[in-house]
């Protein structure tokens, strides 16, 4: 369990919002602090979601946005403000033998290149999975009104994959560098397959719309 996961096991977005002075009504709704909101449009519980501006995330993201700080700084703030029994200090490494300077520079450039590659892929993967999650939610709502939604392939897909895709996004958005690197190694083909299938599906939807317009 990484630092962010430990904090989320102790504190919810709702608790953080109350701690930091956000007024929340009985329905767990509040005026969104991230846009000029005069009527409660943000739902806050374990996580938060604003129905007006679309801001969403977990307790780490909420604190980070609220105070304009990095997610790591937000994690440290939550640990301090809630007195959590979590250590956030970076590990100190014992000094080792000095390395050849040229070799060290080459290795540093290699690691920087790999890190950038994974970061670029992560940003792309977040977009792919977020778009897919939007379709999943649309399928659930659209097909649930059918007489027998369980006969619909996309409705079953939505029920089967919604939780998994949320977990994937949680890893990409809040996981440690090691977790994201491992996710890249394990799931990049699955993400690529999802992207290809969604491209084909969306082209099919557009073609159906064109046919309707021509008809």
Partners of residue 49 on adjacent β-strands: 43, 56
Count CB atoms within 10 A of the CB of residue 180.
Answer: 20
Q: What is the pLDDT of residue 105?
A: 42
Per-residue pLDDT tens over the stretch 117-154: 888 888 889 999 999 999 999 998 898 888 888 888 99
User: In angstroms, rounded to a whole number, what is the distance separating the alpha carbons of residues 186 and 214?
Assistant: 44
- Please choose, from the candidates 170, 189, 18, the residue with its C-alpha nearest in 3D space to the C-alpha of residue 30: 18
Q: What is the pLDDT of residue 94?
A: 42
Relative orientation angle of helices 3-10 and 153-174, to the nearest 10 degrees: 110
Half-sphere exposure of 20 (CA within 13 A, CB side): 20
- The larger pLDDT score, comparing residue 209 to residue 10, is at 10
Q: What is the pLDDT of residue 115?
A: 66
- The helix, strand and coil proportions of the chain, stated in percent and rounded to the nearest 5, come to 65, 5, 30
- Please choose, from the candidates 130, 119, 200, 115, the residue with its C-alpha nearest in 3D space to the C-alpha of residue 168: 130
Per-residue pLDDT tens over the stretch 7-38: 999 999 999 999 999 999 999 999 999 988 88
Cα 36 to chain center, whole Å? 24
Partners of residue 156 on adjacent β-strands: none
- The larger pLDDT score, comparing residue 107 to residue 149, is at 149
* Confidence (pTM): 0.48
């Amino acid at each position: 369990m990484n630092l962010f996961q430990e904090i989320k096991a102790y504190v919810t977005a709702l608790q953080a919002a109350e701690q930091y002075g956000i007024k929340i009504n009985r329905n767990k709704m509040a005026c969104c602090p991230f846009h000029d909101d005069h009527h409660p449009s943000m739902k806050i519980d374990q996580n938060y979601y604003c129905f007006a501006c679309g801001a969403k995330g977990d307790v780490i993201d909420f604190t980070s946005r609220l105070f304009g700080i990095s997610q790591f700084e937000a994690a440290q703030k939550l640990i301090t403000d809630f007195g959590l029994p979590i250590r956030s200090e970076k590990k100190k490494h014992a000094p080792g033998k000095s390395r050849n300077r040229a070799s060290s520079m080459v290795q540093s450039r290699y690691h920087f290149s790999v890190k950038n590659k994974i970061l670029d892929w992560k940003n792309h993967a977040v977009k792919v999975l977020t778009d897919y999650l939007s379709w999943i939610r649309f399928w659930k709502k659209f097909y649930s009104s059918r007489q027998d939604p369980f006969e619909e392939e996309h409705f079953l897909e939505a029920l089967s994959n919604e939780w998994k895709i949320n977990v994937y996004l949680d890893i990409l958005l809040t996981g440690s560098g090691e977790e994201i690197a491992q996710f890249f190694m394990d799931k990049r083909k699955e993400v690529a397959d999802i992207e290809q299938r969604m491209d084909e599906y969306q082209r099919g939807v557009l073609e159906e719309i064109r046919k309707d317009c021509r008809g």
